[in-house]
Amino acid sequence: GAGVSQSPSNKVTEKGKDVELRCDPISGHTALYWYRQSLGQGPEFLIYFQGTGAADDSGLPNDRFFAVRPEGSVSTLKIQRTERGDSAVYLCASSQDRSSYEQYFGPGTRLTVT
Amino acid sequence: GDSVTQMEGPVTLSEEAFLTINCTYTATGYPSLFWYVQYPGEGLQLLLKATKADDKGSNKGFEATYRKETTSFHLEKGSVQVSDSAVYFCALSHTNAGKSTFGDGTTLTVKP
């Protein structure tokens, strides 16, 4: 079946602009995660949804970052007033439910802030 | 907080050589431990996992044993192939907590 998809695959934006990144999880997966991966580092947790609600948003770096999942499926990560330090690959993953250990990762969105 | 430390790379081996990539962790309680692999141009994939002490995870010839006494989860393979060239990430997760904590990755290059 289809895996986790993310769009766009690449996004170049100017400092100060807002961006929206989309994640489409595997159908039926109730848990959805956002991570950020900087060059040469491992993924860093941002936020975790169980269904429509954010179960853990402790990884969001500041209030410029927020994410929504209004219908419990597709999620959008929004970054306001982007800064050059926001440049990274943003990864989305989903799992069947909160007790499932296996997270399925999407290909990521590479965000470049100029 | 939780943390995962991996041996620094890059690691370069000849085909059929023995592979070890070290991973140690710091965490409260009894986390589950994972190895993920990222092949060139592809997304992260779960390679193997172990959910309790002394468990051995295995897949595609790779193995790792959950050692609580040394807080380690070293990845091993007896005979690597060129197709094993990838970036390997060690990670941990607490039951029902959702998020995973990752190491910084180790790049493996296998030469024919």
**Residue A51 forms contact with B (CB below 8 Å):** no
Q: Taking 90 as the threshold, does the pLDDT of residue B9 lie above it?
A: no
Specify the range with the lowest mean pLDDT, choosing from A86-90, A91-95, B6-10, B82-86: B6-10
At residue A27, the 3 state secondary structure works out as coil
Q: How far apart are CA B77 and CA B62, in angstroms?
A: 5
- Mark yes or no for CB contact A102/B42 under 8 Å: no
> How is residue A43 written in tokens?
């993924």
Q: Taking 90 as the threshold, does the pLDDT of residue A79 lie above it?
A: yes
Mean pLDDT of B3-32: 94
Mean pLDDT across chain B: 93
Place of tokens 């990521």: A108
CB-based contacts of A104, cutoff 8 Å, min separation 6: A3, A4, A26, A29, A93, A94, A95, B46
Q: Taking 70 as the threshold, does the pLDDT of residue B96 lie above it?
A: no
Place of tokens 């169980």: A50
Q: Taking 90 as the threshold, does the pLDDT of residue A59 lie above it?
A: yes
Q: How far apart are CA A62 and CA B57, in angstroms?
A: 37
- Mark yes or no for CB contact B93/A101 under 8 Å: yes
Going by the DSSP 8-state scheme, the letter that residue A102 receives in this structure is: P
Q: How many CA atoms lie within 13 A of B88 on its CB side?
A: 30
Asked if A94 and A77 touch (Cβ cutoff 8 Å), the reply is no
